[in-house]
Structure 1
């Protein structure tokens, strides 16, 4: 049985950050990658990052922030290709939703490429709805769905 752990990045985790930056570069095209301002994002008080290890290997991560008291944003969710389809992305998403819910926001938003069907289906499975299609979001020829999940305000 594999040892699976979701950990929160905090303090001095230099090696983990470098692993995540390397993974980010491998998964996302350069113009979509956050690597250029990754460290700046992590320094913000209103942001967080969870990462998933399987038997000590970094498998995936999710970065989120809550820029206002009314909503949070999932800015990145990534799982290494050879680990996809095994529930790791879902585990990270659930953990991020839980973390965002503790900030008392009313809504979580994210953007996803409509062509990334497994990702779109994962978000829909967890209650996210498509708000709109944002043309040219990633590049002039790549659009994104803006999706949201509302928390019950009662």
Structure 2
């Protein structure tokens, strides 16, 4: 099971450059070039309604989740990645739960995300935590790669 420490990346933290460097390296390894935020990562993090949580293990970033809340009612998980040697140990689940909690604190009504249907472990994790498939978006990632649009609604009572 995951034993890393979940931390929120803060702009003024002393380890900002190292953490961003580790995450950019991870982005480049995991995501195809046109899906990677590696070149624009710093700009993404400067956005007003954006947050990033990461798991640190043995002094390195084991995984991270980026989320945003474009409105007071809605949030989006924009990235979730775990280093290959830390997969299937619970890191993704711990990160996703932490991001969901951050969104709940903001009283959003819905969190959405997109995932490639061929990424079965990711899709299963999202379903395990209550996300439901809303639609299959044809050509979302590229002309021959689709995405499930998934969502998690919170009770508003």
Provide TM-score, normalisation by structure 1: 0.96
- Match 2:78 to one of 63, 66, 75: 75
Cα-to-partner distance string for 1:54-98 (whole Å, 9 max, x where unaligned): 122211000000011111000000001111000000000000000
- How many pairs align? 154
SS in 2 for 1:67: coil
Uncovered stretches (5+) of structure 2, i.e. residues with no partner: none
Q: Give the conservation status (yes or no) of the 8 Å contact 2:22–2:60.
A: no
1:139-150 paired onto structure 2 within 5 Å: 139-150=142-153
Provide TM-score, normalisation by structure 2: 0.94
Residue in structure 2 matched with residue 28 of structure 1 by the alignment: 31
Matched, 1:59 2:62: yes
Cα-to-partner distance string for 1:9-49 (whole Å, 9 max, x where unaligned): 00231111111011100110101111222111101121100
4+ residue segments displaced more than 6 Å: none
Cα 1:14–1:120, aligned 2, differ >3 Å: closer, same or farther? same
CA RMSD of aligned residues (A): 1.4
SS in 1 for 2:19: helix
Residue in structure 2 matched with residue 96 of structure 1 by the alignment: 99
Q: Output the CA distance in 2 between the equivalents of 1:35 and 1:107.
A: 27
Residue in structure 2 matched with residue 17 of structure 1 by the alignment: 20
Q: Output the CA distance in 1 between the equivalents of 2:83 and 2:124.
A: 18
